[in-house]
Structure 1
Amino acid sequence: MADETAPMEVEQSLFEAPPMGEQERMVEAILFASAEPVSVAELAARMPHGADPAEALVHLRRRYEGRGVQVVKVGDAWAIRTAPDLGFLMQKETVETRKLSRAAIETLAIVAYHQPVTRAEIEEIRGVSVSRGTVDQLLELEWIRFGRRRMTPGHPVTFVVTQGFLDHFGLESARDLPGLKELRAAGLLDNRPPPGAGLGEEDDESEAEDEGQSELFED
């Protein structure tokens, strides 16, 4: 009887998951080699049958605590990133990139703080119409994307921020966006009234756009 059962035991062992330490190494290798954040589902698809990438991430994240790089969550995915307090080491002098225009910043901020939001809702909050070019440019930057259509007359499309937006600003989710006080302290807002408060009369800069020409960037 022992000889008959031995092959079955060998066959079953082929489906056993690797030790957790080995799974941790696998997750580390995938995240290190990937230019984009990787979801747990994508990790599971690459790893051996029976592996538990979610558990491996817990161990890996703990092991990197206090190190020069960290395992961070970006939306629904994971990535290896430089520790925030060491970011200055990665900086170098480059040609200054043009800033987003006021119109683009306000549109992006409304999407981030009110998502999912329709074009009509963006215009209602800002108090002025939204240029098609501004939205198209934000889509091309991959900072916003189309969301689900509203189940209302006309089924308007909604906009939401992307994982790339979260990754660029070091956010785990849109819930981690700073409040008005933090934005003003960082110099990202002045003491102007919020979007929608009288912009219809005074927003000459942001709405000097034509359908074919966007003011996404300032000169």
Structure 2
Amino acid sequence: MTAPADEPELPGLPPEEDPAAVEARMAGLRVVEAMLFAAPMPLSEADLAARLPKGTPVRALLADLESLYAGRGVNLVRVAGLWMFRTAPDLGHLLREEAVEQRKLSRAALETLAIVAYHQPVTRAEIEEIRGVATAKGTLDVLLETGWVRMRGRRRTPGRPITWGTTEAFLVHFGLESVGDLPGLEELRGAGLLEGTIPPGFSVPVPRSADELSDDEDPLDAPDLLDYARNDGEEG
């Protein structure tokens, strides 16, 4: 008589746990896995909990799934406080030929995006000061269209210029939990993004929170957004 195949073991599951509890946990895992697989966007723990019985340990189920998918072709990852399945980093190059690139960002747009990410909250004038050149009309509009930057607020200085910051979509696209996970100076040098002799005193700033307004910012209101649209991207 052939012995039955072993059941897959859940990470961190005590061997003496009640069979009914094991069955309930397996059912919860299947629901969470199915929701994450089918969702077009990353999901929060609250999104998942809403579809599960009250009291289900969602965080523990996610930890189990994260362990189960570790080392596989698809990994469960947490980005911007949300959960999603993503191709394993070492296999990404195999899929690049299948990806459809809808638009390439110009060098000016990429530089502007990097400045916004590392220096937020930042104004257009501050972006121009850091780059050393005027920001071409439409550069920030292109980044707005990608969904990677947003108007945060207005600086409490004369003229009340608009401040810019990154979005949740920026974190998701680049696989970051927060802007604090952006690479630092040594990581950038190791990746070959900073070559040659670096000037004395050069440093890569530690980004501030992308969510909360700073002490020198006022929140935007609906008229601010309408004025920006009416002025064709010119700050009023």
Report the TM-score range of the alignment, normalised by the length of the smaller protein: 0.5 to 0.7
User: What pairs up with 1:97-176 in 2 under 5 angstroms?
Assistant: 99-152=104-157, 155-176=160-181
Equivalence for 1:206: none
Q: C-alpha separation between the residues in 1 aligned to 2:68 and 2:31?
A: 14
Alignment CA distance shift 1:45-1:119 (3 Å): farther
Range with bigger deviation, 44-53 or 108-117: 44-53
Q: CA deviation at 1:184?
A: 5.0
Identity of aligned residues (%): 58
Unaligned runs of 5+ in 1: 1-17, 198-210, 213-219
Equivalence for 1:52: 57
Q: CA deviation at 1:151?
A: 4.9
User: What pairs up with 1:25-44 in 2 under 5 angstroms?
Assistant: 25-44=30-49
Unaligned runs of 5+ in 2: 1-22, 203-230
Q: CA deviation at 1:160?
A: 1.9
In the comparison of the two structures, how many residue pairs are matched?
181
RMSD over aligned CA atoms reads: 3.3
Equivalence for 2:15: none
Higher relative contact order (CA 8 A, sep 6+): 1
Q: CA deviation at 1:134?
A: 0.3
User: What pairs up with 1:14-29 in 2 under 5 angstroms?
Assistant: 19-29=24-34
Equivalence for 1:14: none
Q: CA deviation at 1:125?
A: 2.1
TM-score by length of 2: 0.63
2:91 is aligned with 1:86 = yes
Alignment CA distance shift 1:95-1:142 (3 Å): closer
Cα distance per residue 1:4-40 (max 9 Å; x no partner): xxxxxxxxxxxxxx93332222111111011211112
Counterpart of 1:74, as a letter, is V
